[in-house]
Structure 1
Amino acid sequence: MKFLKPLLLTLLAGGVFGLLALTSLYFYIKPELPSVSVLKDVRLQTPMKIYSQDGLLISQFGVKRRIPLSLDDVPDTLIHAVLATEDSRFYEHPGIDPIGMARAVVNLVLTGEKGQGGSTLTMQLARGFFLTREKTYIRKLKEIFIAWHMEQVLTKDEILALYLNKIELGHRAFGFGAAAQVYYGKDVSELTLAQIATIAGLPKAPSTLNPISNPERSLERRKVVLLRMLDERYISPAEFEAAANAPVTAKKHGAEIELDAPYLADLIYNEMVELYGKEEAETGGYQVYATVPSRMQKAAQQAVVRNLHDYDERHGYRGPIDQLWTPLDAEEGQDPDLVTHSLDNPAWNESQMLDRMAQVQPIGSLRPAVVTRVSEQSIMVFDNQASYRLIDWDGLMWARPYIDDSHQGEEPKTASDIVTEGALVWIRQRQDDQIWQLSQFPRASGALVALDPFDGAAKAVVGGYSFYESQFNRATQAKRQVGSNIKPFIYSAALENGYTLASVINDAPINQWDARTGVAWRPQNSPAIYDGPIRMRIALGKSKNVVSIRLLRAIGIDAAVEHLTKFGFVREEIPRDETLSLGSGSHTPLEVVTGMATIANGGFAVQPYFIERIANEMGDTLWVANPSVACDDCALTAQTDVAKDDIEARLAAEFGLLDTTQSRTPDREVRQAPRVISAQNAFLVKEMMRTAVRGNGRYSEDPEQNTYWVGTGWRARNLLQRTDLAGKTGTTNDSKDAWFSGFSPHLVATTWVGFDDMSRTLGRASRNQNLINANPSRFNWIGNAMIGAEDGAKAAQPAWIRFMQVALDGVPEEAKPVPDGIITVRIDRDTGKLTNRTDRTALFEYFIEGTEPTVYAQPDEPVDPFVEDDTPRRSPAEDEIF
């Protein structure tokens, strides 16, 4: 007994000391413990996702992959696997498991090593939220205190839900929802027992136990999880055996991208970063819905890619990427198809070819392939997918030699004129007929941007051939000289200064001496054809350069600059000399299409926007765009909203677009866009632009009766077969930039083609007789058969036409609305003055009331009862070809 009392006193003192020490440590650590509000309002770092207007995933931004799950979304099998493996007494302990802690202490005493045991699920969560994996005693104490603290402020289910969403599981997957996607490409509810056991075993060491990096160790860990589930009676022995013997099926999956539109995604990402900051944008779980429908975006991307291939191929073939081996020459009488190796090294086997092609990254639709056989007018290739493909003459005949941008070699007659066996080449599958053909990476660049002209909503954005080759977005960042695309705005200024569509301007050469430089300025038409006195409508339709200059001189540079700023062009970027009238100013395609939208919508300056709405990770709407719209009377808010909602609901049903009416505030105020030009001015400019995209007058073989002429963009009307289109070509000096801008009643689009090297011209293309003789269906007027100097109509307009063919498919034509204050009078075709005649010398023209001519033309020809219309007898394509 004499030892009992000292022992009890020692134990008591030790207990008191330990309690004091623990209390002291608690108060020492307490300032570092998270507050109740932090724990009650934990925000998971969820990546931003960008969707098309109709809900297709375009891209995902954020280092951490996370798919938030509610506890109801998690299968019981996964919960059982996690609890059995990590914390079987989770619902019984207060955040610290004495049994587990005692086991860890014993292990430390016996081995001297700090093991993994002892941490409850709550403690792991505390470490994941607030601490590191550093194995120190102070960190362990913090972990214990935080875990106990969490148990005081959160329910067990809340803690479990946070754990399932927060825990790191390797390959940047955080939470089991993301792990299911990363490792198996599935929703967590679709996983098998073996797959569930695999990801449930990851929390212990996600970098070394995951089935992608270490499949053998993952199998061992999976078996441990299954044994624990068997011990806890969550699964039967038969289920254990089946899952334990299941093969490893994991492989790395990216985000399930449904619409690959990286230029658009990057544009929206940068806007979100500007709004929220980089960290918040990437981790806030935002679901961003673009204004762009997937159907139009796909059409725009395909149009730009096809157009660049057409341009590139009509300028000739630049040769293979590499020559892997040189074929033997066939001996006399030997079948050339049997000669398949080189004198220096034998023909490569499939493995060698695949290894070499692995060094060539596919670009868009282009994939590498090796020529393994060359026949008379076909080749056999072995591609990077280990497939042999026969490319016949239809996929080869375009490939005449490239000499320079303006010269091409002779058309090939046999396949050996183009490539030899052993050549490493590009091939692609054509969009229109799915035929494989020899190809090459286009050196020219292109862009397309389309807007809704009535509110500025983007409908398509393409910034180049391949974002993965160049992230420079030419649709929004490339300031290039706009050429004749500027003329509609110059003509609009002329209308403001007393000119009419019937005004006659002299289309004659200009030769102006500049005393300061000692050089004469001699601007020319393109082509250098001069018609003499010409009406303003025809001058814009034919894109007469000298007429544009004379109009600028008449209205004055200052007035023209002031007028151009109304369309959104930056004053400081507008040249203050006469080259302004020819488009020497540099603007982006987005700036040009925004200006064109003002003409298309009747005179209102709308602002382009790309984000329709933003939601949180649960899908709750946080923000909805409320753009200013083109409307004369925006006081009728309710009617306007209902009308627009009805239209969008119809389009949603008809074209599969997202019905955004669900996210609108019914009584929101409609904001009117500022009117910058009159409705009458916009209508008359639109009329001239309609002239530019069609054949006009009536064709007759009798020169005296023929009034037929075509605008520079006539292919649009011929190929789209619509009457409600307007547009304007644009070509800069030396054809360094080619443009086409045009619109239908509810869609405006601009396309551009040029080289990133601004000193390089687009050149010319000669006729490729192979395409005409061998396959007339391939010879078309919006493809690789166009000839002559490149310009807006040949290099840029084809992309616009192909985009519009898809965008307007199924959309009915609309009659043009004529605004109040517009009248029509009969005028003389040559003088623009009034006339009483009804023959070929007369036609009706639009005027702003009060500006119509008051003087009659003098009769100088006999009356001919020839009725004027604008239907050509045959297409201008036929005239040009034959």
Structure 2
Amino acid sequence: MKWLVRILFALGAMAIVGALGVVGMYYYIKPELPSVAVLKDVRLQTPMRVYSADGELISQFGEKRRIPLNIEDMPPLLIKAFLDTEDSRFYEHPGIDFVGLGRAAVNLVLTGHKSQGASTITMQLARNFFLTREKTYIRKIKEMFIAWHIEQLLSKDEILELYLNKIELGHRAFGVGAAAQVYYGKDVKDLTLPEMAVLAGLPKAPSTLNPISSPERALARRNVVLARMKDMGDITQAQYDEASKAPNTAKYHGAEITLSAHYVAEMVRQEMVDLFGEDAAYGEGYQVFTTINSKDQRAAQQAVITNVLNYDRRHGWRGPVQKLKDWPWDESKIQDFLKGQMTYTPLIPAVVTAVQDQSATVEVKGKGKLELDWSAMDWARPFINENRQGPAPDKASEIVAPGDLVYVRPHGDGWLLAQIPEVNSAFVSLRPQDGAIEALVGGFNYYLSKYNRVTQAKRQVGSNIKPFIYSAALDNGFTLASLVNDAPINQWDRSQGYAWRPKNSPPVYNGPTRLRMGLAESKNVMSVRLLRAVGIDTVIDRLSDFGFPREDLPRNESLALGSASLTPMNVARGFSAIANGGFLVTPYLIDKVEDGYGNLVWMATPKVACAECEQMLAKAKPWPVVNDQEAAMDAAFAQLQGSGDVSWQEQCPVSYIGSNRLAPRAISAQTAFLVTQAMESTIWGGGSWNHGTGWNGTGWRAARELKRHDIAGKTGTTNESKDAWFSGFMPDLQATSWIGYDTYQHELGGTTRMKAITDDPIFGKEGGAKSAQPPWNAYMKIALDGMPEEGFPVPPGIVTVRIDRETGKLTRATDYTSRFEYFKAGTEPKTFARDTLANPFDGPLQPSQSSNDDIFAPAEPQKTGN
């Protein structure tokens, strides 16, 4: 009894000392312990996700991939796998498993090594949130105290849910939701038992036990987990036997991107960092909804790719990428080599393995052997320079040889020999009413070049500048019927010592020509004469009204031919102001931003084009403030709202926006309409083909392909064809297309016709109509599919009169020599052409229902192809 008492006394003393030691240790390190109250409102770091306007995922950004889940959404068997492996007594202990600690302590005493862990799930959660992974005793003590605090604050299910969403599982996947997607491309509810076991085996060493980096070790660890689940009674022997024999099916799965638009994604990333800062943008789980229309974006991307590849193909074959050394190679060596070669969709690297008379065998990256028949390669005449191509080939050996590294691409049901293009392109479309970006393509391929040509490339705009110059002329004494001499210009420049001789392209001159025809046929000398008549200062002021930076506008007459360098976005914005009736909207890409819980945190407030709102505001004049347009409009809106008259709310479709969101005017509605009319003639031409007076505008291909009259456009080609443009619009959509080389060392050149290229009938000198318009046509064909044809609305203050096509004066003739033309009221011609009756009226021409109805008509939309 004496020894028993002594032993009990010693044990009691040790327990008291131990307890006092624990208490002392707690108070010693208490100042260093973090507050775990933050776990009540924890915000798991989740990536930023970028969506199209219709909800397709474009991209995601952030170091950590995480898909937060409620514990109710996790499969019970997956939870069992983690509990059985990491903490089988989780629901029994208070955050610290003393049985496990004792076992680890005994093992340490016997072996001298810390080979057994004693961390519970709660302790792992404490370490993941508040501590580091350093293996020290003081860290372990802190870990236990924090775990105990957590258990007082949260329920067991809340702790487990946080753990399964927080735990690192390799390949930047955090939490089971992200891991299921990264390794198997699945939702957690669709995981199989062996897949669940793989995930449950990862917390021990996610970088070395994951099934992608270390498949053999991952399978061994998986079977340990399965054995543990069998021992715990959570799976049967049969389930274990079947699951332990399952092959490794894991492979890396990126984010579930459904709309690949890399240039758009990068623009959003930059803007989100500007709005919220880098840490918040990448980690707060923001859901970014863009203005991008997925159908339009796909159409734009395909149009650009097809056009660039067509241009490249008709200019000839530049030869293989490289010739492999020590040829021949076996198939496995070829595929290993090809794995290191970049794919630039749709271009896939391949190695030529055999060449027959008019065919070739190629080993294609990831696809094995394919045969290229003669129709896949007979286009490959030698490239000499941008303007010259060699003779068409007769046999395959003139094009490729075994051991050549080349590119191929899908084409219809087969494949085409291809090459990486050196030319590049850009495309952007806007909603004219508010500037929303519907589609944007910054180049042929983002991984080939991340340079966004839509927003970063300042290129000479060529004849794309002319509609803006014509708008200045229409506000300074000219009409669509005004005659301007289309004749060569010879001007001696005393300072330079030479004569400036701007020429038409082609060099055809028609003499006195109406403005409508001059713009539609893109007459260079007429544009120069208009600039001279209006004055260069007036023209530069007008161009700046369209948002073009003054510093990019040269102060000389070359401006009339488009020597200004602007980005495609600048150009698209300017044309949108014509399309929407004269309002200068600002392009924008992000529509709204939500947090990870679906709460709206930011929303765009674009300024909009709204003629109806403008008209309603006009009723409230006089404005109390006359020297501040926005303040005046605010006051006018206040007057309307306080008047009791609510009719303006019904007539103004965007009245809810308030006056501060009405876009400023670049030009009047009447001027915008008249420029649009001339640009319609660019598409549809005019005259009478039956009587030999018919003519085409430079954009006639759009009429042939789209077959609708509510489109207007303008080609653009610069000196030496180094840049080619096409910009055009219909009432609800504007788009601008550009193509050229990134350096000015190359011109777009020209080609001779080749019978082998039957799907691309373009040949001859490259330019706006041939090189830049095809993607615009292809895009609009898809974007406008199913959209009813609508005319451009005629604004107040526009009248139409019948004019003589040759002189632009009034006429009574109703045959092919005449047409109805639009004018601003009061600017219509007052005299008749010489071959018609004299004007029977004294004073200005007025509307009438009498005998001159064939001269004057109400202003209604007219088709311009007559």
**TM-score for the superposition, normalised by structure 1:** 0.87
Distance 1:643 1:611 in 2: 28
Counterpart in 2 of 1:749? 735
Q: Is 1:536 the equivalent of 2:515?
A: yes
In structure 2, the CA distance between the partners of 1:464 and 1:429, relative to structure 1 (3 Å rule), is: same
Number of matched residues? 815
Aligned to 2:611, the other structure's residue is in SS state coil
Aligned to 2:133, the other structure's residue is in SS state coil
Structure 1 residue 218, shift from structure 2 partner: 2.1
Q: Aligned letter for 1:565?
A: S
Distance 1:284 1:243 in 2: 38
The more displaced of 34-43 and 277-286 is 34-43
Q: Deviations over 1:330-351 (max 9, x none)?
A: xxxxxxxxxxxxxxx7744323
Contact 2:429 2:733 in 1 (8 A): yes
Structure 1 residue 228, shift from structure 2 partner: 2.5
Q: Is 1:820 the equivalent of 2:796?
A: yes
Aligned to 1:540, the other structure's residue is in SS state helix
Counterpart in 2 of 1:740? 726
Q: After the TM superposition, which segments of 4 or more aligned residues of structure 1 sit over 6 Å from their partners?
A: 1-13, 635-645, 665-668, 869-873
Structure 1 residue 475, shift from structure 2 partner: 1.2
Counterpart in 2 of 1:66? 66
Counterpart in 1 of 2:680? 690
Match for residue 350 of structure 2 among 369, 390, 395: 369
Structure 1 residue 836, shift from structure 2 partner: 2.2
Counterpart in 2 of 1:710? 696
Question: What does 1:419-818 align with in structure 2 at a 5 Å threshold?
Answer: 419-430=400-411, 433-634=412-613, 671-700=661-690, 705-771=691-757, 778=758, 783=760, 785-818=761-794
Q: Is 1:835 the equivalent of 2:835?
A: no
Aligned to 1:692, the other structure's residue is in SS state helix
Q: Deviations over 1:703-741 (max 9, x none)?
A: xx4221111111111111111110001111111111000
Q: Aligned letter for 1:840?
A: Y
Aligned to 1:225, the other structure's residue is in SS state helix
Contact 2:37 2:153 in 1 (8 A): no
Structure 1 residue 237, shift from structure 2 partner: 2.4
Distance 2:150 2:478 in 1: 78
Contact 1:171 1:182 in 2 (8 A): yes
Distance 2:21 2:493 in 1: 94
Contact 1:696 1:872 in 2 (8 A): yes
Distance 1:50 1:287 in 2: 6
Aligned to 1:847, the other structure's residue is in SS state strand
Question: What does 1:165-180 align with in structure 2 at a 5 Å threshold?
Answer: 165-180=165-180
Distance 2:61 2:566 in 1: 30
Structure 1 residue 12, shift from structure 2 partner: 6.9
Aligned to 2:683, the other structure's residue is in SS state coil
Counterpart in 2 of 1:265? 265
Structure 1 residue 582, shift from structure 2 partner: 1.4
Structure 1 residue 536, shift from structure 2 partner: 0.8
In structure 2, the CA distance between the partners of 1:858 and 1:642, relative to structure 1 (3 Å rule), is: closer
Structure 1 residue 318, shift from structure 2 partner: 0.9
Structure 1 residue 18, shift from structure 2 partner: 4.7
Distance 2:211 2:308 in 1: 43
Aligned to 1:629, the other structure's residue is in SS state coil
Question: What does 1:23-102 align with in structure 2 at a 5 Å threshold?
Answer: 23-102=23-102
In structure 2, the CA distance between the partners of 1:707 and 1:116, relative to structure 1 (3 Å rule), is: farther
Distance 2:446 2:647 in 1: 42
Q: Deviations over 1:524-552 (max 9, x none)?
A: 22122222211111111111112111111
Distance 1:152 1:10 in 2: 32
Q: Aligned letter for 1:289?
A: F
Aligned to 2:454, the other structure's residue is in SS state coil
Contact 2:54 2:294 in 1 (8 A): yes
In structure 2, the CA distance between the partners of 1:120 and 1:666, relative to structure 1 (3 Å rule), is: farther
Q: Is 1:249 the equivalent of 2:225?
A: no
Q: Aligned letter for 2:349?
A: P
The more displaced of 605-614 and 419-428 is 419-428
Distance 2:250 2:756 in 1: 51
Q: Aligned letter for 1:296?
A: D
In structure 2, the CA distance between the partners of 1:514 and 1:158, relative to structure 1 (3 Å rule), is: same
Counterpart in 2 of 1:333? none
Question: What does 1:156-235 align with in structure 2 at a 5 Å threshold?
Answer: 156-235=156-235
Contact 2:350 2:407 in 1 (8 A): yes
Distance 1:508 1:725 in 2: 30
Structure 1 residue 421, shift from structure 2 partner: 4.1
Q: Aligned letter for 1:364?
A: T
Distance 2:554 2:320 in 1: 44
Q: Aligned letter for 1:695?
A: G
Distance 1:229 1:397 in 2: 63
Q: Is 1:382 the equivalent of 2:372?
A: no
Counterpart in 1 of 2:859? none
Aligned to 2:274, the other structure's residue is in SS state helix
The more displaced of 220-229 and 415-424 is 415-424
Q: Return 5+ residue gaps in structure 1 as ranges.
A: 326-344, 646-664, 772-777, 874-882
Contact 1:114 1:135 in 2 (8 A): no
Contact 2:107 2:116 in 1 (8 A): no
Q: Aligned letter for 1:193?
A: L
Q: Deviations over 1:35-89 (max 9, x none)?
A: 3542212111111111222222221211111111111111111111111221122
Q: Deviations over 1:789-845 (max 9, x none)?
A: 211111111111111111111212113321111100111222222222233332211
Aligned to 1:845, the other structure's residue is in SS state strand
Distance 1:812 1:385 in 2: 44
Structure 1 residue 667, shift from structure 2 partner: 6.8
Q: Is 1:131 the equivalent of 2:131?
A: yes
Aligned to 2:533, the other structure's residue is in SS state helix
Contact 1:74 1:188 in 2 (8 A): yes
The more displaced of 242-251 and 263-272 is 242-251
Distance 2:652 2:139 in 1: 60
- The alignment-based identity, stated in percent, is 57
In structure 2, the CA distance between the partners of 1:860 and 1:803, relative to structure 1 (3 Å rule), is: same
Contact 2:47 2:285 in 1 (8 A): yes
Distance 1:639 1:365 in 2: 55
In structure 2, the CA distance between the partners of 1:373 and 1:13, relative to structure 1 (3 Å rule), is: closer
Counterpart in 1 of 2:283? 283
Counterpart in 2 of 1:418? 399
Q: Aligned letter for 1:856?
A: F
Distance 2:406 2:837 in 1: 65
The more displaced of 556-565 and 449-458 is 556-565
Structure 1 residue 246, shift from structure 2 partner: 2.2
Q: Deviations over 1:123-161 (max 9, x none)?
A: 100101111110011111111121112122222221111
Q: Aligned letter for 2:815?
A: D
Counterpart in 1 of 2:848? none
RMSD: 2.8
Distance 1:545 1:121 in 2: 77
Match for residue 858 of structure 1 among 809, 829, 834: 834
Q: Is 1:357 the equivalent of 2:328?
A: no
Structure 1 residue 288, shift from structure 2 partner: 1.5
Distance 1:605 1:426 in 2: 44
Q: Aligned letter for 1:753?
A: I
Distance 2:15 2:422 in 1: 81
Contact 1:712 1:793 in 2 (8 A): yes
Structure 1 residue 301, shift from structure 2 partner: 0.7
Contact 1:525 1:544 in 2 (8 A): yes
Distance 1:10 1:347 in 2: 83
Distance 1:230 1:379 in 2: 57
Q: Return 5+ residue gaps in structure 2 as ranges.
A: 617-639, 839-853, 856-861
**TM-score for the superposition, normalised by structure 2:** 0.89
